[in-house]
């Protein structure tokens, strides 16, 4: 089966430390004021004394049908055969069409280059057999990444065991970040 | 939500529409009206290349990497409206300059004979309208392709086309009524005004259908249209677009056509109504661009 790279994010394990954002910035030289990933808060839910707050980390969903790729006028936005969505910077003219087309607002205009910028799945790390920086650094082990089609991968094992949800599926993008809200006591071993 | 496409994009959307509209006005006046509508055809031809050129300049300024713009013309991405749109506006702008040249007085012509000149004008006038319709409406498809709730409306290209025709015709009215040289005759203005009034009615109808369809649609889309009719864009929508941009110019044009306006006031009313049509057309682009980016899925 073809490789389909994606993320599994366990919201119950996120403590909103924002280390993923710091690690991404350090690894990829993301300019201050912009970010390739984020942690969103649900705000306080419920009523005292039964209150809770859920954190939902995110980044580019590396969609199956990425609108950012189809709208790109120069072919700079591409979906690789392994599913990772990238920008070939030399071809990007900075029209910002992809920014408006992304329903997750996962892209930004890099103020230094004027071009579209986004999560690259840390390609430079994948080539060395490492996990993306945000996954590596996540102290709650909330962020997991890998080949969703490989049954031996951590992400596939998690998805086989726990119910998951994706964001804005009705927009038709086919996002490849799966969220698990259940309590996950143990992260399975895997690729 | 951060606004990625700002006022520069609005200016481009507006100017491209004016150019395409003025071009179609000129082409139709030449093909259907002949000599009786010569002034209107000529003014349409004279106006057409300029707004879109301004728009293209502004568009270039908006690029994050403007020196890379040539990349647009090294490929054709069939799924990207911006890609085929770029080719269309390039071709349109070039042809509009050729068309303008053919309308210049005899002494500037290198082709020579008046007869072959007329033939070329007519040939171009038969081809360019298709391109003009493309230039006026692809911007709607362009927004359709970006997955934003407000921009999912299938009528968006039609709205932009009708608004382009209306603003284009209004620009031709404005110039041909004001100019001391080649000033339009009463009959020309009368017909053009009638066409413009009809386009305004059509535009109102399209806006109405869009809003009703949007409000009956999913929550995100209903909310997006809500921002236009009672949310933070309501002032712009009701006051600047519906009021000053549609109802007032329509009423003025209606009174003009019914000859309820004294001769002394005819010119100011003509100028006022066509200016307001342009004003409204600009804010139609503004509200679609801004409210569209403000709208989000939930």
pLDDT at B175 over 70: yes
3-state SS assignment for residue B136: helix
Kindly list the domain boundaries of chain A, sorted by start residue: 5-180
Q: What integer is the mean pLDDT of B16-29? A: 96
How far, in Å, CA of A78 to CA of A60, rounded? 13
Q: In this predicted complex, what is the ipTM?
A: 0.89
What is the reported pLDDT for B108? Answer: 78
Q: A8-43: per-residue pLDDT in tens?
A: 999 999 999 999 999 999 999 999 999 999 999 988
Q: Looking at beta carbons, which residues of chain A come within 8 Å of B81?
A: 71
Query: Which chain B residues contact residue A96 at CB under 8 A?
Result: 4-5, 62, 64
Query: What CA–CA distance (Å, rounded) separates B90 from B102?
Result: 19
Q: State the pLDDT confidence band at B112, using cuts at 50, 70 and 90.
A: low
CB-based contact B68 A75, cutoff 8 Å: no
pLDDT (tens digit per residue) in B195-247: 999 999 999 999 999 999 999 999 999 999 999 999 999 999 999 999 999 99
Angle of helix B263-294 versus helix B248-257 axis, rounded to 10? 150
B65, A105: Cβ pair inside 8 Å?
no
Q: Could you say which of 1.10.260.40, 3.40.50.720, 3.40.50.10490, 3.30.70.20 is the CATH number of the domain covering A5-180? A: 3.30.70.20
- Cβ distance of B71 and A114 shorter than 8 Å: no
Mean pLDDT of A116-136: 96
Q: How far apart are CA B246 and CA B170, in angstroms?
A: 12
Cα gap B268→A102, rounded to integer Å:
47
Tell me how far CA of residue B171 lies from CA of B3, B94, B186, B187, B244, in angstroms: 30, 20, 16, 17, 17
pLDDT at position B128: 95
Q: Do A103 and B79 touch (CB under 8 A)?
A: no
Greatest pairwise CA separation for chain A in angstroms: 55
Structure letter (DSSP) for residue B69: G
Dist CA B40 CA B50 (whole Å): 17
pTM for the full predicted model: 0.93
In CATH terms, the fold of domain B7-294 is Formate dehydrogenase/DMSO reductase fold (1.20.1630)
Q: Is the dihedral of CA B82, B86, B89, B91 positive or negative?
A: negative
The CB density around residue B189, as the number of other CB atoms within 10 Å, is 22
Model confidence band, residue A1 (pLDDT cutoffs 50, 70, 90): confident
Nearest by CB to B83, which of A73, A94, A110?
Answer: A73
Q: In sequence order, what are the residues at sequence separation of 6 or more whose Cβ sits closer than 8 angstroms to the Cβ of residue A157?
A: A151, A188, A190
B64 with A99: Cβ contact below 8 A: no
What's the first-to-final CA gap in chain A, in angstroms?
16
Which of B1, B2, B3, B4 is most worth mutating to test chain A (most A CB atoms within 10 A of its CB)? B4
Q: What is the mean pLDDT of residues B31-50?
A: 91
Q: What is the distance between the alpha carbons of residues B100 and A90, in angstroms, rounded to a whole number? A: 37
B79: which chain A residues are within 8 Å (Cβ-Cβ)? 70-71
Q: What residues of chain A, 57 to 86, have a C-beta less than 8 Å from chain B?
A: 67, 70-76
∠B117-B119-B121 over CA atoms, to 5°? 70
Q: Distance between CA B172 and CA B42 in Å, rounded?
A: 9
CB-CB neighbors (< 8 A) of A94 in chain B: 63-66, 68
**Interchain CB distance below 8 Å, A74 and B147:** no
Which residue in B54, B29, B31, B51 sits closest to B42, CA to CA? B29
Partner residues linked to A145 by β-bridges: A7
User: Is the CA virtual torsion B123, B129, B135, B138 positive or negative?
Assistant: negative
Q: Which residue of chain B comes nearest to A91, CA vs CA? A: B71
Q: How many of the other CB atoms lie within 10 Å of CB of B131? A: 18
Distance from CA of A23 to the nearest CA of B (A): 24
**Number of CB pairs < 8 Å for A and B?**
93
Residue B265: pLDDT band by 50, 70, 90 thresholds?
Answer: confident
């Amino acid at each position: 089966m073809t490789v389909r790279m994606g993320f599994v994010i366990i919201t119950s394990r996120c403590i909103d430390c924002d280390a993923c954002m710091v690690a991404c910035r350090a690894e990829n030289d993301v300019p201050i004021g912009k970010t390739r990933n984020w942690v969103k808060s649900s705000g306080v839910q419920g009523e005292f004394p039964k209150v809770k707050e859920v954190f939902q980390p995110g980044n580019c969903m590396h969609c199956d049908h990425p609108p950012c790729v189809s709208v790109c006028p120069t072919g700079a936005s591409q979906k690789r055969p392994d599913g990772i969505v990238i920008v070939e910077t030399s071809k990007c003219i900075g029209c910002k069409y992809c920014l408006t087309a992304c329903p997750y607002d996962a892209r930004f205009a890099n103020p230094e280059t004027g071009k579209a910028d986004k999560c690259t799945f840390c390609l430079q790390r994948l080539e060395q057999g490492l996990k993306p920086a945000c996954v590596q650094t996540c102290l709650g082990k909330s962020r997991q990444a890998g080949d969703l089609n490989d049954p031996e991968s951590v992400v596939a094992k998690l998805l086989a065991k726990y119910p998951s949800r994706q964001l804005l599926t009705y927009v038709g993008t086919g996002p490849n970040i799966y969220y698990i809200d259940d309590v996950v006591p143990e992260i399975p071993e895997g690729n | 939500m951060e606004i990625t496409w700002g006022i520069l994009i609005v200016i481009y959307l507006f100017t491209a529409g004016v150019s395409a509209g003025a071009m179609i006005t000129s082409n139709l006046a030449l093909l259907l009206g002949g000599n009786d509508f010569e002034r209107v055809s000529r003014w349409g031809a004279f106006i057409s290349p300029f707004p879109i050129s301004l728009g293209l300049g502004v568009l270039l300024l908006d690029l994050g990497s403007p020196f890379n713009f040539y990349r647009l013309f090294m490929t054709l991405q069939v799924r990207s409206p911006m890609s085929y749109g770029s080719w269309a506006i390039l071709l349109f702008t070039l042809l509009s300059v050729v068309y303008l040249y053919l309308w210049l007085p005899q002494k500037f012509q290198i082709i020579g004979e008046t007869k072959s000149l007329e033939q070329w004008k007519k040939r171009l006038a038969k081809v360019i309208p298709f391109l003009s319709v493309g230039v006026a409406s692809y911007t709607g498809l362009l927004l359709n392709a970006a997955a934003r709730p407000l921009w999912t409306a299938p009528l968006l290209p039609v709205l932009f086309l009708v608004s382009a025709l209306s603003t284009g015709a209004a620009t031709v009215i404005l110039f041909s009524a004001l100019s001391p040289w080649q000033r339009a005759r009463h009959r020309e203005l009368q017909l053009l005004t009638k066409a413009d009034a009809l386009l305004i009615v059509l535009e109102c109808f399209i806006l109405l259908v869009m809003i009703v369809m949007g409000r009956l649609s999913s929550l995100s889309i209903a909310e997006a249209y809500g921002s236009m009719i009672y949310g933070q864009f309501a002032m712009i929508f009701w006051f600047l677009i519906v009021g000053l941009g549609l109802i007032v110019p329509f009423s003025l044009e209606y009174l003009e056509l019914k000859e309820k306006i004294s001769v002394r006031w005819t010119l100011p009313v003509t100028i006022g109504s066509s200016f307001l049509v342009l004003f409204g057309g600009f804010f139609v682009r503004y509200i679609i661009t801004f409210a569209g980016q403000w709208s989000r899925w939930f």
